A and B are shown apart, each in its own frame.
Chain A
Amino acid sequence: MGPTQAHIGHVQKVGYAAFLQEQFAEAPSTYLDFVQTAATVDDTYKVNALRNRPFINALHGNDQLRQRVALALSQILVVSSRDIYDGPGMAVYMDILVRNAFGSFRTLLEEITLNPAMGHYLDMVNNDKPNPSRHRTANENYAREVMQLFSIGLYKMNPNGSLKLDAASRPIPTYDQPVIENMARVFTGWTYGPLPGATPKAHNPKNYLAPMVLWPANHDTSAKTILDGRGLPAGQTGDQDLAAALDALFLHPNAGPFLGRQLIQHLVTSNPSPGYVARVAAAFADNGSGVRGDLKAVVRAVLLDTEARRAPTTDFGRPREPILFITTLLRRLGATGDGWGLTSSASNMGQNPLSPPTVFSFFPPDYQVPGTLLFGPPLEIYTESTAIRRSNFVNTLVFGTVGVPSYAPPGATSVALDLTPWINLAGNPAALVDDLNARLMGGRMPADMRATIVQAVTNTSATSPTTRAKTALYLVATSAQYSVQQ
C-alpha cells in the first residue's frame, strides 16, 4: 500500500527476496472482527466501518503486501458493497481474499464461489434447476462471469498472454453460449447457510456469514457439457459438478496468463512484456515444487521479475489508482492518525473502497489511453472531475485538515502530516525538492520538473518556510509525473 521510509531502508538492508519472505509471514489484517466490533455511529449496516478498513489497514498493518494483493484480487473477483450493502457480509468476502492471497488459487476460487455475498451478487444463491414447463431456465450470471472475469477470460491465450489465432487469424473464444447454459446448470441447488438453530430449507433466508449449502433437490442432475467438450455425467451431486467445473477452470491453460497479467498490472506495470507475463504464468503452472496455482509463487514472480526490478523505461509503470494514491502518499510522508475519513476522498476520485459500480470493477484491464497503444486501466476513472478532486485532496492534506467523519467512533482520528522535516529544509529549496524526490519519486524526478519546483519554492518568501514546504509538497504530489507508480 506504499512504503514508509523505514520500509525502504529495511528492504535496502535485507534485499527484496528476504523482504517478501517476511511479508508472507506477517499476520493478516482481517476485516470481519473489525467491522463487527467497530464503534461507528449511525452505521446500521456497518458499511462505513467496512470501507474505512482498507485505509486503516494500510496505515497500521504490517502485512502490506498481503493487503495490496487482496486489494488487487477484490478488483478481479469482484463483489461490491454498492449492491451487497452489508459490512459483515462484505467482510467475510474480503477475508477470503486476505486469507488466500498467498495460498492456492483453486481454494480461492472455491471459497469465492460458495461465498454468500458473491452468491447474491451474481445470482448463484437460490439458483434452482430449470423448469421447462414454466419456460424457466437456470440463472447464467455466475456461470458467465466466473469464466469471463474470474478465471479464463474470453479468448484462448498463449502463456505470454497473447491471443491464440485460428487458421483465419481470428482469436479463439474459450467458450460459447451453450457452455454458459451448461455451467449455469452446474451452479444450481445452492442456498444460504441456515441461521444457527434454524431448520434447513430449500431456500434459507439471507445469511452472509456462512458458506452456501446445497439443497440436492434443486440441483440439476442431468448431464452437462462444459469447457472444451468436457462432459459431466448425469447423476452427479451439486458438490461433484461444482468441483469438476472449478477444476476445469483452474486447469485451463488460460488461468496462469489471465490472472498473472492482471496481477502484474495491479502490482507493477500496466504494459508488461509478453516475456514477463510468460514467466509469471510459468510460476502459476508450477511453483517450483510441482504445485499449480500457488499464489505465493505468482506474487514472487511478479515482484522479483527483472522487468519489475530494473530501471524503469519511459512507459513502464502504472497510473496510481485513488486508493493507492492516498495510501502511498500518506505512508511515504509518514502521516499519523487512525485513517478514518479517507473514503469520501477516494470515492470523489472515482474509487469508493470495496464499492465498484459493477462486477467489471472500477476500470477494465484492457483500457487503453485514447490515441495510444498503452494500456492504462486506472486512467479510465481519471476524468476532469476526479483529477481536480485529487489535487484538492492534496490541498486539504497539505494546507488544511482531513476531517473525521461523523460516523467515526468517538476519539477516532483521520490523518495528519507533520511538516517539520520539510520546514527544516525550506531554507535550501534544492535540498527540499531533493528530499521529496527521494521520498516520493525514488530519485527519478525529471530534471526540468525539479528545476520548476525549486523555482516555485525560491519564488516563495524565505520568511515563510512553512509555505515553502507546503508548496513543494503540493507541487510534487499533484504532478502528472508523480501520478505514475514506477
Chain B
Amino acid sequence: MGRTRRDFLKGGCATLGAGAFLARLSRVDALAQEHHHVRLAPATDYRALVCVFLNGGNDAWNTIVNLDDYAAYAATRSSIALPQTSLVPIRPPSDGRQFGLHPSLAGLASLWNEQRLAIVCNAGPLVQPLTRSLYLSRPDLRPPNLFSHSDQVYQWQTGATAPALPTGWGGRTADHTLGLNESAVFPMITSIAGSTVFGTGNVARIYEVTPAGSVALSGFSGSASSQARYDGMRTLLTLDREAGFVRAAGDIVTKALDTDQLLTGALATAPPLVTVFPVSTLGSQLKMVSRLISARASLGIKRQIFFVSLGGFDTHSAQVTVQDGLLKDLGDSLAAFYAATVELGVDGSITTFTCSDFGRTYSSNGTGTDHGWGSCHFVVGGSVRGGDFYGAWPTLALAGPSDSGTIGRFIPTTSVEEYGATLATWYGLAPVDLPAVFPNIGHFDTPDLGFLT
C-alpha cells in the first residue's frame, strides 16, 4: 500500500507530486517509510535546541549589509536602503569583507565579538543544489510553490521540499532521540508559540505552553461533588476514541491536565532568574524557555527542543519602520536569552537558531519588498563557533548569477537540510539516522556546516 523510502529516492522528484497539500494526502507513504532506529542510551549531559521562527519572511538584505559595496546597495535599494553610518560593523574571517548589522541588532554585536554568534548565509529550501541557469532551464528541479508563505514556512519546518513530508524535522529528530530522555515524563518538544508542524513527529507531539506557563483547569475543589465531576470528566476522556476528532481533542486535554501539575510544581521550585528580558513578544517567550530550562532537573529531562516565534516580517510596505522594531525585539531577546543561559551555567548546552519563510526581493516596490527565497540566519550559543559566516554570501546583483529572476530573489546555496542536520547532529541525532530525519540530505554536500563544536 504505502511506498517505501527506497522508492522515493529511486524515482527522484519526478515520481511524486510536490507540495504540502499532496504530502498531506499521501501521509500513508510517510508512515510506511522504513528507517533505521539507533537505540540511544540515556544522556548524562543536557542539550537544547531553540528554534526562533520569524514569521512573514525577514528581509535578510537589510539585516546584514555588505559595507564594502555600500554604494551599489544604496543604488539598488534606494528608498529602503539603510544609512551607512547606522550599520554595526562585523568582519567575518572566512569572507574577508566588512559587513554591517542592522542598527537594531546592536545587542548582538558583543555576541559576535565573543564568537557566540554565527551567521548562516543564503539558506533556504532546495530539492538539490541549483545554479541560475539550472533554475531557469529546469522548473522541475525547483522546490514547489516558491515565494508562497504557507508553503515556504512548511518546507522550512518540515525540512523537506519534494517529496513533501507531513512531519517537522524537530519532531522527527525527537522521534529518533527519545531514548536520550530515558523515561522522562515531560515531553521533549515545547512550543511557546502555539501549534507548529516543526514539532510534529511520527510519534512526537508538541507540548504547548504560554509565556506565562501552562493553563490550569479551574472550578474544582476537594468537595465530593467536585470530585465526582472531575472523575466523570477524566472517564469521558477515555471513551469514544475511535472518532478521530474526539481522540485528538481528548488527547490534548489529557496531556494538558497531566502535565500542568508537573510543570507548575517544577517552575515553582526552580531558582528565580536575575537576567532581565525585554518585555516584548519574543522576550516573553524566551523568558519562559529559560524558566523551563532552569527547571530541567525537576522535569527529569536531558534533551529539549523549544519553538518560539515572532511575526510581522512580511514587509511589503513600511519596511524600514517595521523591521526596525522587529529586529530590536529579536536582537535584544536573543542577547537576553544567551545571558540567561550563562546565568544558568548551560550556555554551552543551548543552541538558538532562527528560521523564516524566506528572505525578500533585493529590489523594492517603493516602501517595502516582496517575497524572496534565500535568507541569512543567526545561530547563538556557547557551543557555536561564532564570529563568522557559514555558507556563501550571494552576489547581490539583479539578474546576476545568484538571482532566480530579475528582482533579486536569490537562490539559496545552503539547504534547510544542511542547516537542520548540523543542529540535529549536535543535539544528539545519530548520523545513521540523518536520512530518516532529512530524506534529501544526500542531495547536498555539507551535512555539517561546521558552526557548532
Contact = CB atoms under 8 A, between A and B. Distances in A.
Interface of A: 122-123, 127-128, 134-141, 144, 148, 154-155, 163, 165, 168-171, 173, 176-177, 180, 270, 314-315, 317-319, 350, 357-358, 360, 364, 366, 368-376, 379-385, 387-389, 391-392, 395-396, 399-400, 446, 448-449, 452-453, 455-456, 459-461, 464, 467, 471, 474-475, 478-481, 483-484
A373 B27 contact: yes
B235 interface: yes
Interface of B: 14-22, 24-25, 27-28, 55-56, 76-79, 139, 144-151, 166-167, 191, 194-195, 200, 202, 205-210, 214-219, 224-225, 228-229, 231-233, 235-237, 239-240, 242-250, 252-253, 255-257, 259-260, 311, 314, 316-317, 361, 363-366, 368, 370-371, 398, 405, 407
A374 B365 contact: no
B54 to A, nearest CB: 13
Contacts of B166: 368, 370
10 contacts: A135-B364, A136-B365, A163-B22, A173-B145, A319-B249, A383-B206, A387-B249, A449-B240, A456-B228, A480-B237
Nearest to A170: B17
Contact of A385 (B210, B218, B232, B247): B210
A315 B241 CA distance: 11
A475 B232 contact: yes
Nearest to A399: B219
A354 to B, nearest CB: 18
A168 B246 CA distance: 38
A168 B21 CA distance: 17
B218 A392 contact: yes
A369 B78 contact: no
B120 to A, nearest CB: 25
A376 B18 CA distance: 22
Given A154-B21, A177-B147, A391 B245 contact: no
Contacts of A128: 366
Contacts, number: 248
- Most chain A CB neighbours (cut-off 10 Å) among B144, B167, B195, B242: B195
A134 B219 contact: no
A369 B27 CA distance: 11
Contacts of A392: 215, 217-219
Contacts of B244: 314-315, 369, 372, 374, 376
B232 A364 contact: no
Contact of A448 (B55, B216, B240): B240
B195 A383 contact: yes
A445 to B, nearest CB: 10
A319 B24 CA distance: 19
A372 B215 CA distance: 27
B370 A139 contact: yes
A221 B210 CA distance: 50
A380 B248 CA distance: 11
A449 to B, nearest CB: 6
Nearest to B80: A136
Contacts of A148: 148
Given A136-B79, A392-B215, A385 B148 contact: no
B194 A368 contact: no
Contact of A139 (B15, B311, B366): B366
B253 A387 contact: yes
A364 B150 contact: yes
B282 to A, nearest CB: 15
A120 to B, nearest CB: 9
A122 B219 CA distance: 43
Nearest to A180: B147
B361 A137 contact: yes
Given A123-B317, A139-B368, A449-B239, 16 more contacts: A128-B366, A134-B79, A136-B78, A136-B363, A138-B365, A139-B316, A357-B311, A373-B27, A383-B191, A384-B214, A388-B216, A459-B225, A459-B231, A475-B232, A481-B236, A484-B243
A80 to B, nearest CB: 11
Contacts of B22: 163, 171
A67 B429 CA distance: 51
A392 B256 CA distance: 13
Contact of A452 (B144, B145, B208, B232): B232
B229 A384 contact: no
B240 A358 contact: no
Contacts of A453: 232, 236
A391 B21 contact: no
Contacts of B217: 388, 391-392
Contact of A374 (B56, B245, B361): B245
Contact of B239 (A369, A371, A372, A452): A452
The 6 A-B residue pairs whose C-beta atoms are closest, nearest first, are A456-B232, A395-B219, A480-B250, A384-B256, A459-B228, A383-B208
Contacts of B25: 373
B363 A373 contact: no
B365 A382 contact: no
